[in-house]
């Protein structure tokens, strides 16, 4: 759009005249203008921006709103177009006119927090249009949504957010109380609509096979993949998790749909593969503060990615698009950390912050020790101390690893011995590893004063302690109460450990003999003789005579004159499930334990079936109370 | 009978095939040939076994008769069979018999593909006797002094069903072939495809990662031969990803997920 210099002049003059006598606003205006003038798009947008400021001023929303907008404009990130900030000004003006100054100011306070989630102006417009619609049709609910805007947009895309708002308005158009429940997320329909993501479905299931194969191809390792369902309103967005040799991935990454969903799942599994390959030791959590452990994890993430990029430079194209952090004058601990994460992987990223710069320099300085995980701990500790001195608040309870493709890093830490009996109740264990712990009234304590590692430990919850991922429940009959208790018993899937006591079949003559006998029986199928073939071992005399007679008689016949000797078809697959309960340690009258006999049997059957080129898997189970029925299997 | 080839000239290799020795296999094979010892070439598909035997046949100046073995192959396909013509039955030598009679190197490619009862016909040729009995014709052929038997064998197929009989295996000296190490494979791909070593390096990385999928979606990963094919397309100006798509992704599998995985590998390496 062409804007003449006359327009710019007029709008500027109008604004200056109108602000006459409002010195505070005037000073803020000049500060914002000074900053904006350095931008290349200033001349194209100045007129529209002046108008937006003027409108806000004249809307009687109070000086605080205008000052907030001017402050936001002055701090506007260099890489975001000015169009965006103008659009925000207009939207806030519209919302403010309907909902009042308090809400307008709350919206402006939320904007910097959600900018990273709203990358394009279209996404910004969609969210603000939804908020405007809410302001008009359900002003009583607006503050409920605005106050948790950041959390909502972490969990869902702009489009899905808009669908959720209009869905709630349609469903409860005449009922303000129900609307409050809906927008306060106290309504089942609301959470379903917010996370149901109709149309995209379950990305994990769709991509599972491909992700497993890609892990194997890139890393030559194949952890079993498990789906982590999104809880109704999780405290933090779900991240990938490497627990007990399994890779848990969310069933979907809210806000990532279609091709982007594919990309983030690939990026997440590639990142997990880099950990599995290069994060060979676990750091003792010791007396580390949550901030230090989070920073150590961040550096370790960057370290394993740097190592992976040495061999597979193309992975940078997979990971980089998720690093959208940009310099901002409003420094928060979490904000600086996500900028550092970008600085460590993106060589073209420039960040003026000294802490980020120091992190980058420290990381670069240990480039020749990239194979040593201790460097992550060293740098994490140093940066943690620096950030502590900067008096920046770090809230470990709400902290979530960014960018979204990275895992929760719980697998990097050694939490030491965990006392039993901390888990009092398992809530929704299946498909969701959100296992609730009941804390003892210390929940409100700030994290900086919390005992070391507590936040991380409580976040690890019982996932680490359970040594596996809950995968299913089943009902059990309570013989005392004479009722069937549904979902009573929880199955945890666990990676089977490789025994130090190897079992060599060759040393056991009886076993070898049994294997040979079974293999012989299994491999020799019933052979069949096919007569009258076009090809074969020998002439089929009857057919040959018949053919010659026909030829002599002048007929043209097909020369099917051979006998073929061929084996019949076969197809076999076996799953052997071993009882590994404590009771299998009991011995028979010869002093052999049941478990030993099971081992031997499994070895003989496996050797025989594998020798016959058929498929066999050996799994096991044992239980330790109804909450821990372990199902053991071994990955590759 | 005019059907028998009186000369094996058509089986002679006149131009030197390109072969990059990996270890001492050329010397070993030459020594084995000197005593007409049967040789087994072990290794995955596309790693250079066939190229090696062509090179050796050229070097030793012997004709080379190659038989691609398959599941339906019968002993008659190797030694020969009676055919019917208007006058009655007429004997036709198979490729093995031709090599034995006239003195060529007979190369049975992927021998485990053939059924075990088919391959026992080679036994009398692979010990001191060096004879081939044609039972159906009532003839015993003594092997020509230049004759040598070479088989290739893919260990990936080892199982009770598809394996060489112990009595067959023990008659052969074996040369183990694998995919060359990274540096050598880059050299081979670069030389064979006529491309820059940097591009060859990317292709070899793709090959290495795809081989991790063996038995997990793929029967075999991308062979050196496939990488050479990809390189040749790149040499003709085709984009690297497109070249890999055409010569690696699509030929290796029809499974859409596995194809996507291979594309992920290409993306990660390139």
Q: Which residues of B touch A519 (CB under 8 A)?
A: 160
Hey, is the C-beta of B240 within 8 angstroms of any chain A C-beta?
A: no
Comparing A411-425, A591-605, B127-141, the range with the smallest average pLDDT is A411-425
Low-confidence winner among A206-215, A599-608, A609-618, B14-23 (lowest mean pLDDT): A609-618
Q: What is the per-residue pLDDT across B29-69, written as a single tens digit (0 to 9) for each? A: 999 999 999 999 998 888 899 999 999 999 999 999 999 98
Q: How confident is the model at residue B227 (pLDDT cuts 50, 70, 90)?
A: very high
One-character DSSP codes across A559-595: ---EEEEEEPP---EEEEEEE--GGGG-B-TTS-BHH
Say yes or no for a CB contact (<8 Å) between B264 and A214: yes
Going by their DSSP bridges, the two strands B80-85 and A562-567 should be labelled as unpaired
d(CA B141, CA B93): 12
How many alpha carbons lie under 13 Å from residue A405 in its C-beta half-sphere? Answer: 31
Residues of chain B positioned with their CB less than 8 A from the CB of A317: 267
Using CB atoms, pick whichever of B74, B117, B160 lies closest to residue A613.
B160
Beta-carbon contacts of residue B96 (< 8 Å; ≥ 6 apart): B65, B67, B78, B79, B106, B108, B121, B122, B125, B132
The owner of tokens 């040939």 is: B33
Q: What pLDDT is stored for residue B113 in this prediction? A: 83
Q: Is residue B127 exposed (0-12), middle (13-18) or buried (19+ Cβ within 10 Å)?
A: exposed
- pLDDT for A244 equals 67
Q: Which of A205, A206, A212, A213 is most worth mutating to test chain B (most B CB atoms within 10 A of its CB)?
A: A213
Residue A449 pLDDT level (bands cut at 50, 70, 90): very low
Cα–Cα distance for residue pair A246/A311, rounded to 1 Å: 24
pLDDT tens for each residue of A383-411? 988 888 888 878 877 788 888 899 888 88
The per-residue pLDDT for range B140-189, each reduced to its tens digit, is 999 999 999 999 988 765 455 566 777 888 899 999 998 999 999 999 99
Which chain B residue lies closest to A565 (C-alpha atoms)? Answer: B74
Per-window interface: B 110-149 vs A, CB < 8 A: 115, 117, 136
Contact across the interface for A314 and B269, Cβ inside 8 Å: yes
Band the pLDDT of B242: cuts 50, 70, 90.
Answer: very high
For B159, the closest of A311, A318, A613 (CB atoms) is A613
Task: Identify all chain A residues contacting B89, using CB atoms and an 8 Å cutoff.
Answer: 539
Residue ranges of chain A whose CB lies within 8 Å of a chain B CB: 209-210, 213-214, 216-220, 222, 266, 270, 311-315, 317-318, 519, 522-523, 535-539, 544, 547-548, 551, 559, 561, 564-567, 610-613, 636
Looking at residues A215-234, what average pLDDT do you find?
A: 76
Q: What is the nearest CA distance from B61 to chain A, expressed in angstroms?
A: 34
Confidence band of A472 (pLDDT split at 50, 70, 90): confident
pLDDT at B38: 95
Residue A177 has pLDDT above 80, yes or no: yes
Q: How far is A318 from chain B (nearest CA, A)?
A: 8
pLDDT at B224: 94
| % chain B with pLDDT above 90 | 63
Round to whole Å and give the CA distance between A621 and A471: 13
Best mutation target, A203, A211, A217, A541, to test chain B (most B CBs within 10 A): A217
The predicted structure's pLDDT at residue A519: 65
Structure confidence at residue A80 as a pLDDT band (50, 70, 90): confident
- In terms of CA atoms, which chain B residue is nearest residue A524? B161
Contacts of B269 in chain A (CB under 8 A): 312-314
Contact A217 B74 (CB under 8 A): no
CA distances from B73 to A31, A222, A535, B118, B229 (A): 88, 38, 9, 7, 29
Residue-level pLDDT at A234: 55
Which two structure tokens, joined as six digits, stand for A251? Answer: 């069933």
C-alpha–C-alpha distance, residues A519 and A499, integer Å = 26
Mean pLDDT in residue range A64-79: 87
Nearest Cα to Cα of residue A533 among A571, A566, A490, A568:
A566
Q: What token pair was written down for B250?
A: 């699509």
pLDDT of the residue at A521: 58
| Residue B102 pLDDT | 92
Query: What pLDDT was estimated at residue A307?
Result: 93
pLDDT score, position A424: 29
Kindly state whether B217 is in contact with chain A, defined as any CB-CB distance less than 8 angstroms.
Answer: yes
Question: Which residue has better confidence, B165 or B256?
Answer: B256
pLDDT in tens, A135-156: 888 888 888 888 888 878 877 7
- Indicate yes or no: CB of A270 within 8 angstroms of CB of B159: no
Listed by number, the residues of chain B in 45-74 with a beta carbon closer than 8 Å to a beta carbon of chain A are 72, 74
pLDDT score at A583: 86
Q: Quick check: A612 and A522 in contact, CB under 8 A?
A: yes
Note whether B212 contacts A: Cβ–Cβ < 8 A.
Answer: yes
CA distance A364 to A387: 19
Mean per-residue pLDDT for A494-523? Answer: 69
With beta carbons under 8 A apart, name residues in chain B contacting A612.
159-161
pLDDT at A304 > cutoff 90: yes
Tens of pLDDT, residues A153-174: 877 778 888 888 888 888 787 7
Of chain A, the percentage scoring pLDDT greater than 70 comes to: 83
- Residues B176 and B43 sit within 8 Å (Cβ to Cβ): yes
Nearest-by-Cβ selection for A217 from B115, B159, B212: B212
Residue A57, pLDDT > 60, answer yes
Kindly report the pTM of this predicted structure. 0.61
DSSP string of A52-119, one letter each residue: HHHHHHHTT--HHHHHHHHHHHHT--TTS-HHHHHHHHHHHHHHHHHH-HHHHHHHHHHHHHHGGG--
Cβ–Cβ gap B267/A314 under 8 Å: yes
Average pLDDT over residues A118-143: 87
Instruction: Report the C-alpha gap between A298 and A300 in whole angstroms.
Output: 5
- Better-predicted residue by pLDDT, A5 or A19: A19
Contact A314 B257 (CB under 8 A): no
CB atoms B84 and A559 under 8 Å: yes
Taking contacts as CB-CB distances below 8 angstroms, the residues of chain B near A564 are 74
A365, two tokens:
């300085």
Beta strands in A149-238, from DSSP E residues, in sequence order:
224-228
For residue B265, list chain A residues with Cβ-Cβ distance below 8 A: 214, 217-218
C-alpha A185: how far from its chain's center? 22
Mean pLDDT of chain A: 79
Q: Which residues of B touch A611 (CB under 8 A)?
A: 159-160
* A314 interaction partners in chain B (CB closer than 8 Å): 266-270
- pLDDT bracket for residue A236 (50, 70, 90): low
Q: Is B267 on the interface with A (CB under 8 A)?
A: yes
Q: Phi, psi at residue A232, to the nearest 5°?
A: -55, -50
Percentage of chain B with pLDDT > 70? 94
Q: Is residue A309 helix, strand or coil? A: helix
Subunit contact B269:A216, Cβ cutoff 8 A: no
Dist. CA B206–CA B268, nearest whole Å = 9
B86–A551 CB contact, under 8 Å: yes
β A246-250/A241-243 pair status: antiparallel
CA distances B31 to A183, A190, B48, B145, Å, are: 84, 80, 20, 15
Angle at A413 between CA A409 and CA A415, to 5 degrees: 130
**Given A318, A523, A547, which is nearest B268 (Cβ)?**
A318
Phi and psi angles of residue A618, each rounded to the nearest 5 degrees, phi first: -115, 115
Q: Give the 3-state secondary structure of residue B269.
A: helix
Residue A166 confidence (pLDDT)? 85
3-state secondary structure of B175: strand
- Find, in chain A, the residue whose alpha carbon is nearest to that of B74: A537
Average pLDDT over residues A242-265: 82
Segment 4-43 of chain B within 8 Å of chain A by CB: none
Chain B partners within 8 Å of A535 (Cβ): 72, 74, 77
Of A18-22, A31-35, A269-273, A607-611, give the range with the top mean pLDDT: A269-273
Of B82, B117, B217, nearest to A539 by CB-CB distance is B82
* Residue of B161, B162, B182, B248 to mutate for A, most A C-beta atoms under 10 A: B161
Q: In terms of DSSP bridges, do strands A241-243 and B80-85 run parallel, antiparallel, or are they unpaired?
A: unpaired
Cα of A516 to nearest chain B Cα, Å: 10
| Residue in chain B lying closest to A315 (CA) | B268
- Reported as a single tens digit per residue, the pLDDT across B89-127 is 788 899 999 999 999 999 999 888 887 767 788 999 998
Residues in chain B: 270
In the prediction, which pLDDT does A427 show? 32
Q: How confident is the model at residue B247 (pLDDT cuts 50, 70, 90)?
A: very high
Per the listing, tokens 């205008």 go with: A66
B interface mutation test: which of A214, A218, A225, A543 has the most B CBs within 10 A? Answer: A214
The larger pLDDT score, comparing residue A326 to residue A303, is at A303
- Decide if pLDDT at A302 tops 70: yes
| B10 Cα to chain A: minimum distance (Å) | 27
Q: How many CB pairs under 8 A join A and B?
A: 91
Q: Is B247 on the interface with A (CB under 8 A)?
A: no
pLDDT digits (tens, 9 = 90+) for A513-558: 777 766 665 554 556 788 888 887 788 888 888 888 888 888 888 8
Strands annotated E in A436-537 = 469-478, 483-495, 527-533
- Greatest alpha-carbon pair distance for chain B in Å reads 66
Q: Cα–Cα distance between A447 and A291 in angstroms, integer?
A: 9
* Complete DSSP assignment for B104-153: -EEEEETGGGS-HHHHGGGGGGSSTT-EEEETTTTEEEEPPTT-EEEEEE
State yes or no: pLDDT of A423 exceeds 50: no
Residue B4 has pLDDT above 60, yes or no: no
CB contact under 8 A, A214 and B72: no
């Amino acid at each position: 759009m062409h804007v003449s210099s006359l327009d710019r002049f007029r709008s500027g003059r109008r604004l200056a005249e109108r602000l006459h006598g409002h010195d505070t606003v005037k000073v803020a205006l000049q500060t914002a203008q000074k900053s904006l003038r350095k931008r290349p798009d200033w001349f194209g947008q100045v007129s529209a921006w002046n108008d937006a400021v003027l409108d806000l001023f004249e809307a009687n929303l109070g000086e605080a709103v205008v000052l907030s907008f001017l402050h936001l404009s002055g701090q506007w990130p260099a890489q975001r177009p000015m169009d965006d900030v103008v659009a925000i000004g207009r939207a806030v003006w519209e919302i403010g006119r309907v909902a009042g100054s308090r809400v307008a100011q709350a919206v402006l306070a939320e904007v910097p927090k959600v900018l990273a989630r709203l990358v394009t102006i279209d996404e910004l417009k969609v969210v603000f249009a939804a908020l405007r619609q809410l302001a008009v049709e359900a002003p009583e609910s607006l503050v409920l949504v605005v106050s948790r805007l950041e959390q909502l947009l972490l969990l869902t895309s702009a489009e899905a957010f808009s669908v959720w708002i209009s869905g709630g308005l349609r469903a409860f158009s005449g009922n303000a109380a129900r609307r409050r429940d809906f927008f306060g997320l106290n309504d089942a329909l609301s959470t379903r609509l917010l996370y149901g993501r109709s149309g995209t479905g379950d990305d994990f299931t769709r991509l599972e096979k491909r992700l497993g194969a890609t892990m194997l191809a890139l890393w030559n390792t194949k952890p079993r993949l498990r789906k982590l369902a999104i809880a109704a309103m999780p405290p933090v967005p779900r991240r990938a998790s490497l627990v007990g040799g399994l890779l848990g991935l969310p069933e979907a990454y809210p806000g990532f749909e279609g091709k982007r969903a594919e990309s983030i799942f690939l990026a997440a599994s590639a990142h997990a593969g880099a950990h599995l390959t290069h994060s060979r030791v676990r750091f003792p959590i010791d007396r580390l503060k949550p901030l230090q452990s989070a920073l150590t994890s961040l550096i370790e993430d960057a370290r394993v990615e740097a190592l992976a990029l040495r061999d597979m430079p193309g992975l940078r194209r997979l990971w980089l698009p998720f690093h959208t952090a940009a310099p901002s004058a409003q420094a928060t601990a979490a904000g600086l950390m996500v900028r550092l994460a970008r600085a460590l992987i993106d060589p073209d990223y420039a960040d003026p912050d000294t802490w980020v710069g120091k992190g980058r320099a420290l990381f670069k300085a240990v480039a020749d020790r990239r194979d040593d995980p201790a460097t992550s701990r060293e740098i994490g500790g140093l940066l943690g101390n620096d950030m502590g001195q900067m008096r920046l608040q770090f809230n470990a309870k709400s902290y979530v690893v960014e960018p979204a493709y990275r895992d929760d890093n719980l697998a990097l830490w050694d939490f030491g011995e965990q006392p039993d009996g901390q888990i009092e109740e398992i809530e929704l264990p299946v498909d969701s590893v959100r296992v609730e712990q009941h804390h003892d009234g210390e929940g409100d304590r700030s994290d900086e004063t919390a005992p070391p590692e507590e936040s991380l430990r409580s976040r690890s919850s019982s996932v680490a302690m359970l040594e596996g991922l809950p995968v299913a429940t089943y009902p059990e009959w309570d013989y005392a109460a004479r009722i069937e208790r549904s979902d009573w018993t929880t199955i945890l899937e666990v990676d089977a450990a490789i025994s130090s006591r190897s079992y060599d079949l060759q040393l056991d003559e009886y076993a070898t003999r049994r294997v040979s006998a079974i293999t012989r029986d299994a491999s020799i199928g019933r052979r069949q003789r096919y007569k009258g073939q076009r090809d074969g071992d020998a002439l089929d005399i009857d057919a040959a005579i018949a053919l010659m007679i026909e030829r002599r008689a002048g007929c043209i016949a097909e020369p099917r004159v051979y006998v073929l000797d061929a084996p019949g078809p076969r197809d076999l697959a076996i799953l052997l499930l071993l009882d590994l309960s404590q009771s299998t340690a009991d011995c028979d009258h010869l002093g052999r334990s049941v478990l030993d006999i099971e081992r031997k049997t499994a070895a003989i059957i496996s050797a025989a079936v594998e020798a016959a080129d058929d498929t066999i898997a050996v799994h096991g189970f044992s239980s330790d109370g109804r909450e821990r029925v372990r199902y053991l299997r071994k990955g590759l | 009978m005019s059907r028998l080839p009186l000369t094996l000239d058509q089986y002679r290799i006149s131009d030197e095939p390109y072969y990059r020795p990996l270890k001492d296999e050329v010397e070993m094979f030459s020594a084995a040939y000197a005593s007409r010892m049967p040789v087994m070439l072990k290794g995955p598909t596309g790693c250079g076994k066939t190229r090696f035997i062509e090179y050796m046949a050229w070097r030793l100046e012997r004709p080379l008769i190659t038989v691609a073995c398959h599941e339906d192959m019968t002993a008659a396909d190797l030694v020969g069979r009676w055919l019917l013509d208007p006058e009655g039955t007429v004997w036709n030598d198979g490729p093995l018999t031709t090599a034995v009679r006239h003195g060529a190197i007979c190369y049975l490619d992927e021998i485990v593909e053939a059924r075990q009862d088919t391959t026992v016909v080679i036994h009398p040729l692979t010990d001191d006797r060096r004879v081939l009995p044609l039972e159906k014709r009532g003839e015993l052929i003594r092997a020509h002094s230049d004759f040598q038997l070479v088989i290739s064998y893919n260990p990936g197929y080892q199982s009770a069903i598809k394996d060489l009989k112990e009595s067959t295996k023990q008659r052969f000296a074996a040369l183990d072939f694998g995919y060359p190490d990274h540096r050598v494979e880059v050299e081979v791909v670069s030389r064979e495809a006529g491309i820059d070593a940097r591009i060859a390096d990317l292709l070899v990385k793709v090959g290495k990662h795809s081989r991790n999928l063996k038995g997990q979606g793929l029967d075999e990963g991308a062979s050196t031969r496939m990488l050479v094919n990809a390189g040749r397309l790149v040499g003709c100006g085709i984009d690297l990803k497109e070249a890999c798509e055409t010569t690696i992704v699509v030929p290796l599998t029809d499974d859409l997920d596995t194809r996507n995985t291979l594309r992920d590998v290409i993306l990660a390496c390139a």
